[in-house]
């Protein structure tokens, strides 16, 4: 399985000077399992085409760099076997199902919301950002496919909790469902009818007679068991029987998992209409198909290309897509790594650096929300193309403190057009506070560089050499942060120089025109070891960045933004990430890199982001049942 990312993965504070290994000649280590590959010089997951790495873009699922090259798909993609619903998907599907079982007033009730927050949140394991096995940063929560004992138990507890809550009302609820045309009390055929009516939503497909028989047996067994102990208590027996059916449906594999078996009559890799409906709905809305989508699946019209596209557009246009997009931007931009900004308030040099601005305890959360809202705005609220999003100067925050960092005295009210930042130096996404702020008085060019390289250009970094001793660049009273980093990591001939000088540092240096709270600056205050300011030095954001094998001189964040966009790599990387998110798996580079390249080109040609979402859902890959592979 893919290793999990942890907050400590931002340990890329590399200082390479100390030698910590014995002075031994390099020899191959003893073999471990007889694979005979020797030492780890296969660590190159380096991106194809970048300067000096010489490694290919990676086969399999390592998310290799977005380089142009031969585009002849080979091999076949695989999918994780029998995917479970993600945490968000399960929660939403339960709420919608409750509305079906017990009425919308229950499904949208405070009671249900309260139960989620107060009780069930601790029971159901959270999903963790997950990527390829080689990926140690980033990833998507919806790709997390670990299943624990706690999942089985949480699904059981929630199913019974919901069913039990309305135990004495099930009979009435069912009567109401049928507008008192039928009552399960004393009428088993009504139970049958109810199972057939609500079961399809739980299964997300029509029930078979075998399914109906199964749930009737659940009802019968429970009913009979109660009557055996409580003769004559038909009312309770009926209630308990229907409760058991409710719970059993919610615990069935068809509810808790994405069961995709395909349409054998149509071909090995063809999804059924209902499976397609589920894919669409769980991708865009993170919940089960609504009535309209189910109807299109029921009558098979969803398999018609025009009907399918119309449904895709309907889903994209619905406000429910915003929640899924929020998850996407959170994971893509790794917003959970934005550190708290208030931890060092009251200490030096942080207070001096803050210079009258006091970061609040929730500032980092506001920064994360701003990034989400930016993405949602440009995708579905007021759709634009990718470049407009990437360069956007809109400030979509209602947080006073964050608005101040953008030079605004008044935050956005949420109504009307959002304000734009007053800082001429701002260059869009790269200069968003959430991607610059560090929670300390010092910027972190290395982390910024790694983020830009991996998350925005999709070029995985090769692992550091084994003799690295990760030492954070210590603040200096004579050198700027950039100079400290250069001194530590760009020593000529050192094992650090290659990656830092070409791949990492320049991407971080270009935004050094912003301080560690994300405020524009031209000077960097220098502090002594006691946190006392002792001087200032001019910030230098000029650098040369390597992208796609070419070197570009950039003066600042504006130039870097332009270079990243003009190279097409930013577009391609966004496309790759959207592909992963939409399909719920890592791409198969050999067979799907061509598709992703085309998606990137479409973005670069000016396709709006909402249309891009439609485009992804229209891909054959989205509609195809890949063969299952290993985790």
Of the candidate spans 89-97, 109-117, 463-471, 590-598, the one that interacts with another protein by CB under 8 A turns out to be 463-471
Between residues 348 and 398, which has the closer beta carbon with respect to another protein?
348
- Least separation in angstroms between residue 227's CB and another protein is 14
Exactly one of 188, 196, 214, 314 binds another protein (CB under 8 A); which one?
Answer: 214
Residue 538 lies near another protein (rule: CB under 8 A): no
Q: Closer to another protein at the Cβ: 408 or 435? A: 435
* CB of residue 429 to another protein, shortest distance in Å: 24
Which listed range, 108-116, 157-165, 482-490, 519-527, lies at the site for another protein (CB under 8 A)? Answer: 157-165
The answer to whether residue 532 forms part of the interface with another protein (CB under 8 A) is: no
550 sits near another protein (criterion: CB under 8 A): no
User: Any contact of residue 279 with another protein (CB under 8 A)?
Assistant: no
Kindly tell me which residue out of 266, 361, 424, 536 binds another protein, with binding defined by CB under 8 A.
Answer: 361
Q: Which is nearer to another protein, 113 or 470 (CB)?
A: 470
Q: Which residues contact residue 581 at a Cβ distance below 8 angstroms, ignoring those fewer than 6 apart?
A: 140, 142, 283, 328, 331, 332
Please tell me whether residue 468 binds another protein under the rule CB under 8 A. yes
Which long-range contacts link 603-606 to residues 24+ away (Cβ below 8 Å)?
603/385, 603/386, 603/571, 603/572, 603/574, 603/575, 604/386, 604/568, 604/571, 604/572, 606/385, 606/387
* Residue placing its CB nearer to another protein in the complex, 243 or 603: 243
Rounded to the nearest whole angstrom, what is the least distance from the CB of residue 29 to another protein in the complex? 4
Q: Judged by CB under 8 A, which of 99, 109, 167, 236 binds another protein?
A: 167
Total residues in contact with another protein, by rule CB under 8 A: 99
DSSP string, 307-364: HHHHHHHHHHHSTTHHHHHHHHHHHHTTGGGPPPSSTTTTSTTHHHHHTT----TTHH
- Residues ≥6 apart with Cβ < 8 Å to 498: 52
Q: Mapping DSSP to helix (H, G, I), strand (E, B) and coil, where does residue 552 land?
A: strand
| Beta-bridge partners for 624 | 270
Instruction: With H, G, I as helix, E, B as strand and everything else as coil, classify residue 258.
Output: coil
Site for another protein in 403-442 (CB under 8 A): 439-440
Minimum distance of another protein from residue 603's CB (angstroms): 30
Q: Does 89 bind another protein (CB under 8 A)?
A: no
Place of tokens 């017990």: 102
* CB closer to another protein, 107 vs 463: 463
Stretch that binds another protein, among 24-32, 68-76, 108-116, 570-578 (CB under 8 A): 24-32
For residue 90, what are its two tokens? 């399960």
Distance between CA atoms of 522 and 517, rounded to whole angstroms?
14
| 209 contributes a contact to another protein by CB under 8 A | no
| Residues linked to residue 84 through DSSP beta bridges, in sequence order | 257
Burial class (CB in 10 A: 0-12, 13-18, 19+), 183: middle
Taking the least distance from each CB to another protein, the nearer of 4 and 400 is 4
In whole angstroms, give the CA distance from residue 275 to residue 528: 63
Residue 142, both tokens: 């919806």
Q: How many CB atoms lie within 10 A of CB 422?
A: 13
Q: Write out the binding residues for another protein, residues 326-345 only, by CB under 8 A.
A: 339, 343-344
Region 295-324 residues binding another protein, contact defined as CB under 8 A: none
**Residue 310 or residue 472: which is nearer to another protein going by CB?**
472
φ/ψ of residue 473, rounded to 5? -60, 115
Q: Does 254 bind another protein (CB under 8 A)?
A: yes
Residues 113-152 that bind another protein (CB under 8 A): 122-123, 125, 133-134, 136, 146-152
Q: CB-wise, 331 or 556, nearer to another protein?
A: 331
Please classify residue 267 by burial: count the beta carbons closer than 10 Å to its beta carbon, then call 0-12 exposed, 13-18 middle and 19+ buried.
exposed
Nearer to another protein, 495 or 542 (CB): 495
Name which of residues 480 to 509 contact another protein (CB under 8 A): none
């Amino acid at each position: 399985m893919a290793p999990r990312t942890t907050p400590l993965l931002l340990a890329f504070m590399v200082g390479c000077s100390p030698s910590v290994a014995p002075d031994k000649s390099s020899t191959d280590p003893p073999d471990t399992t007889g694979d005979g590959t020797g030492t780890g010089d296969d660590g190159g997951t380096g991106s194809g085409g970048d300067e000096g790495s010489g490694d290919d873009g990676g086969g399999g699922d390592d998310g290799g760099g977005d380089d142009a090259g031969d585009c002849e798909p080979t091999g076949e993609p695989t999918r994780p076997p029998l995917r479970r619903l993600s945490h968000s998907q399960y929660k939403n599907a339960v709420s919608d199902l409750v509305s079906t079982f017990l009425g919308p007033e229950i499904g949208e009730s405070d009671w249900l919301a309260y139960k989620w927050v107060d009780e069930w949140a601790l029971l159901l394991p959270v999903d963790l950002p997950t990527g390829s096995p080689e990926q140690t940063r980033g990833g998507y929560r919806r790709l997390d496919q670990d299943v624990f004992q706690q999942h089985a138990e949480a699904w059981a507890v929630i199913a019974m909790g919901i069913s039990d809550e309305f135990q004495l009302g099930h009979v009435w609820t069912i009567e109401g469902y049928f507008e008192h045309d039928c009552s399960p009390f004393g009428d088993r055929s009504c139970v049958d009818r109810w199972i057939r009516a609500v079961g399809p939503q739980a299964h997300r497909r029509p029930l078979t007679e075998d399914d109906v028989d199964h749930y009737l047996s659940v009802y019968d067994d429970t009913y009979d068991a109660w009557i055996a102990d409580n003769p004559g208590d038909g009312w309770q027996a009926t209630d308990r029987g229907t409760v058991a059916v409710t719970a059993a449906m919610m615990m069935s594999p068809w509810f808790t998992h994405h069961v995709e078996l395909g349409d054998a009559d149509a071909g090995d890799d063809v999804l059924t209409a209902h499976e397609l409906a589920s894919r669409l709905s769980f991708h865009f809305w993170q919940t089960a198909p609504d009535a309209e989508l189910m109807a299109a699946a029921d009558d098979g019209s969803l398999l018609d290309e025009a009907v399918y596209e119309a449904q895709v557009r309907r889903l994209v246009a619905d406000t429910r897509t915003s929640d899924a997009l929020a998850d996407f931007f959170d994971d893509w931009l790794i917003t959970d790594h934005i550190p708290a900004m208030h931890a060092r308030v009251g200490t030096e040099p942080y207070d001096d650096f803050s210079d009258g601005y006091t970061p609040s305890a929730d500032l980092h959360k506001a920064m994360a929300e701003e990034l989400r809202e930016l993405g949602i705005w440009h995708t579905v609220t007021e759709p634009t193309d990718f470049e407009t999003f990437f360069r956007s100067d809109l400030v979509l925050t209602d947080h006073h403190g964050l608005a101040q960092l953008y030079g605004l005295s008044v935050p956005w009210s949420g109504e009307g057009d959002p304000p734009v930042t007053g800082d001429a130096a701002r260059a869009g996404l790269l200069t968003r506070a959430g991607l610059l702020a560090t929670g300390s008085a010092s910027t972190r060019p290395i982390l910024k560089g790694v983020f830009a390289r991996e998350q925005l250009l999709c070029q995985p970094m090769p692992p550091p050499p084994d003799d690295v001793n990760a030492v954070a660049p210590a603040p200096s009273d004579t050198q700027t942060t950039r100079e400290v980093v250069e001194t530590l990591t760009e020593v000529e001939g050192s094992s650090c120089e290659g990656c830092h000088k070409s791949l990492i540092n320049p991407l971080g240096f270009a935004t050094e025109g912003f301080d560690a709270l994300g405020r524009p600056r031209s000077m960097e205050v220098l502090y002594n070891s006691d946190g006392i300011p002792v001087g200032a030095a001019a910030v230098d954001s000029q650098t040369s960045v390597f992208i796609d094998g070419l070197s570009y001189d950039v003066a600042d964040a504006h130039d870097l933004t332009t270079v990243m966009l003009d190279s097409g790599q930013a577009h391609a990387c966004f496309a790759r990430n959207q592909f992963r998110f939409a399909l719920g798996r890592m791409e198969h580079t050999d067979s799907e890199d061509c598709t992703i390249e085309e998606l990137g080109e479409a973005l670069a040609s000016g396709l709006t982001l909402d249309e891009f979402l439609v485009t992804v859902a229209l891909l054959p890959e989205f509609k195809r049942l890949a063969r299952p592979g290993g985790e």
